Amino acid sequence: MLKVVEIEHLTIQYPDVKAIDDVSFTINQDDFLGIIGPNGAGKSTLFAAMLGLNTKYKGTIKFFGTDIRKSKSYLKEIGYVPQKPIFEKNFPATVNDVVKMGLQKESDENKIDEILQQLWIHELSERRIGELSSGQQQRVFIAKALVNSPKVLILDEPVTGIDQQSIDLFYSILKELNSKQNITIIWSSHDLDAVNKLANHVACLNRTLFFHGESDDFFKNDDLVKQYSEASMQKHMHNH
Amino acid sequence: MTFEIFTFSFMHRAIISGIAIAILCSIVGLFLVLRRYSLFGDAIAHSSFGGIALGLMSGIYPLWTAYGVSIVSALIMTRIKDRFNISGDASIAVLLSSGIAVGLVIIGLSGGFTLDIFSFLFGSILLVSVNDTILILSLTGVILIVILLLYRQILYSTFNEEQAKVSGIPVEKINYLIVFMAGLTVVTSIQLVGVLLISALFVIPNVTAIMYGRGFKQTAIISISFSIFSVVAGILVSYLFDITPAGTIVLIAIGIFGCTIGIKSAGLLSQHH
Domain membership of residue A122 (yes or no) is no
CATH of the domain at A177: 3.40.50.300
Q: Give the length of chain A.
A: 240
Residues of A in contact with B206 (CB under 8 A): none
Answer yes or no: are the C-beta atoms of B50 and B69 closer than 8 Å.
Answer: yes
Residue B271 lies in a domain: no
Chain A positions touching B166 (Cβ under 8 A) are 51-53, 75, 78, 80
Q: How far is the alpha carbon of A218 from chain B, nearest alpha carbon, in Å? A: 31
On whether the CB atoms of residues A14 and A167 are closer than 8 A, the answer is no
Rounded to a whole number of angstroms, the CA Rg of chain B reads 19
B272 domain residue, yes or no:
no
Q: Cα distance from A100 to chain B (closest Cα, Å)?
A: 8
Using an 8 Å CB-CB cutoff, list chain B residues near A100.
152
Cβ atoms B103, B195 nearer than 8 A:
no
Q: In terms of CA atoms, which chain A residue is nearest residue B155? A: A101
- The answer to whether B113 contacts chain A (CB < 8 Å) is no
pLDDT of residue B258: 96
Q: How far apart are the first and last CA of chain B?
A: 45
- How large is the average pLDDT for residues A226-231? 69
**Does B149 touch chain A if contact means CB atoms closer than 8 Å?**
no
Residue B109 confidence (pLDDT): 84
**Neighboring chain A residues of B272 at a CB cutoff of 8 Å:** 127-128, 131
pLDDT digits (tens, 9 = 90+) for A170-206: 888 889 889 988 999 999 988 888 898 899 999 999 8
* pLDDT exceeds cutoff 60 at A234: no
Q: Is the CB of residue A76 less than 8 Å away from at least one CB of chain B?
A: yes
Give B152's contacts in chain A (Cβ within 8 Å).
100-101, 103
pLDDT tens track for A57-91: 999 999 999 999 999 889 989 999 988 778 888 89
- Contacts of residue A54, defined as CB under 8 A and 6 or more positions apart, other chains included, come to A12, A45, A48
Does residue B208 belong to any structural domain of this protein? yes
Cα–Cα distance for residue pair B115/B117, rounded to 1 Å:
5
Please state whether the predicted TM-score (pTM) of the whole model is above 0.90: no
Distance from CA of A235 to the nearest CA of B (A): 27
Which residues does chain B have within 8 Å of residue A72's beta carbon, measured at their own beta carbons? 168
Number of domains within chain A: 1
Angle between helices B216-241 and B171-212 (to 10 degrees): 70
For A111, list phi and psi in degrees, rounded to 5: -65, -25
Model confidence pLDDT, tens digit, residues B135-163 = 999 999 999 999 999 999 999 999 999 89
C-alpha distances (whole Å) from A27 to each of A24, A73, B57 are 10, 18, 66
Cβ pair A24, A31 in contact under 8 A:
no
Residue A225 placed within a domain:
yes
Give the DSSP H/E element, type plus range, for residue A225: helix A222-238
ipTM: 0.82
Q: Which residues contact B93 (CB under 8 A, 6 or more apart)?
A: B43
| Bridge partners, residue A62, by sequence | A6, A67
Q: How many Cβ atoms from other residues are within 10 Å of residue B197's Cβ?
A: 23
CB contact under 8 A, B168 and A86: no
Confirm whether A49 is domain-assigned. Answer: yes
Q: Check CB contact under 8 Å for A102 and B36.
A: no
Backbone φ, ψ for residue B170 (5° rounding): -75, 80
In a domain, A93, yes or no: no
The CB density around residue A76, as the number of other CB atoms within 10 Å, is 12
- Tell me the C-alpha distance between B161 and A115, whole Å: 24
- How far is the C-alpha of B105 from the C-alpha of A72, rounded, in Å? 49
Judge whether A37 lies within some domain: yes
Nearest to B210 among A75, A92, A104 (CB): A92
Helix axes B130-149, B151-159, angle to 10 degrees: 70
Sequence length of chain B is 273
Domain housing A48: 3-83+150-238
Contact A53 B273 (CB under 8 A): no
Query: Does B159 sit within 8 Å of A93, measured CB to CB?
Result: yes
Nearest to B166 among A80, A93, A100 (CB): A80
Boundaries of domain holding B187: 3-265
Is B270 part of any domain?
Answer: no
Does A165 reside within a domain? yes
Q: Do A101 and B218 touch (CB under 8 A)?
A: no
Closest residue, chain A, to B151 (C-alpha) = A101
User: Could you tell me the CATH number of the domain that includes residue B104?
Assistant: 1.10.3470.10
A229 lies in some domain: yes
Based on the structure, what is the number of domains in chain B? Answer: 1
B34/A101 Cβ within 8 A: no
Q: Does residue B113 carry a pLDDT above 70? A: no
Report yes or no on B206 lying in a domain. yes
Min distance B231 CA to chain A CA atoms (Å): 24
Among B36, B159, B207, B217, the strongest candidate for a mutation testing the A interface, having the largest count of A CBs within 10 A, is: B159
The pLDDT of residue A10: 95
Cβ-nearest to A86 among B152, B160, B166: B160
The Cα–Cα gap between A85 and A158 comes to 9
pLDDT in tens, B231-243: 999 999 999 999 9
Mean pLDDT of A97-125: 84
**CB of B210 closer than 8 Å to CB of B219:** yes
Kindly state whether residue A176 falls inside one of the protein's structural domains.
Answer: yes
Distance CA B66, CA A81 (A): 44
